[in-house]
Homo-oligomer: A and B are copies of this chain.
Amino acid sequence: MYEGPVQDLIDELGRLPGVGPKSAQRIAFHLLGVEPADIGRLQAALQRIRDGVQFCTICGTVSEKELCRICADSRRDRAVICVVEEPKDVQAVERTREFHGRYHVLGGALDPLSGVGPEQLRIRELLARLGNQSDGVDVSEVIIATDPNTEGEATATYLVRMMRDFPGLVVTRLASGLPMGGDLEFADEVTLGRALSGRRAM
């Protein structure tokens, strides 16, 4: 629709997730009006991502150094590992301030239809951490915090089976149930069913 570089930029922006044609146009015209240095900062940030991002050699989350801040923090409990799908899930659990152990990022969830099998996830690395902690601390609990959807549940089931043979290891799963602040009337039947079956004495 537009001519030359403006349309090229709109096209490229429109390829980003969650950026529709209208947003792409809005961002492009915004960038037409900003200081060149502002565009330069965005370009530089893209270049650093393009140069490759480092991942923590222990947990696999995005990291600035060989070890991420959490794995490098000696105050974190090395006996508990929380297994999540993606680095953004690490941030979600951190925001609760309820977890003081370390993480393991799988890099996704089992999804055979999309070609994601156990080999594509960091499952071997997880099992290696359980068998052989370099600092000699035994892992006593693995909390499986994959998403509460089909792929996440399948991944959780698979992980439980793989970790059955580690003696003394407790494997737990995040509770499913009604979200806080939600409305019982509007809960879907699967969530309400989980809330029922997971009910606790009080």
Contact = CB atoms under 8 A, between A and B. Distances in A.
Copies in the complex: 2
Chain B CB within 10 Å, residue with most, of A49, A53, A62: A49
B64 A3 contact: yes
Given A18-B27, A29-B87, 18 more contacts: A1-B91, A2-B87, A3-B64, A3-B69, A4-B54, A4-B62, A4-B63, A5-B53, A5-B64, A6-B53, A6-B62, A8-B45, A8-B48, A12-B42, A15-B42, A29-B88, A40-B50, A42-B46
B46 A9 contact: yes
Interface of A: 1-6, 8-9, 11-13, 15-19, 23, 25-32, 36, 38-43, 45-51, 53-54, 62-64, 68-69, 86-88, 91, 94
A16 B40 CA distance: 13
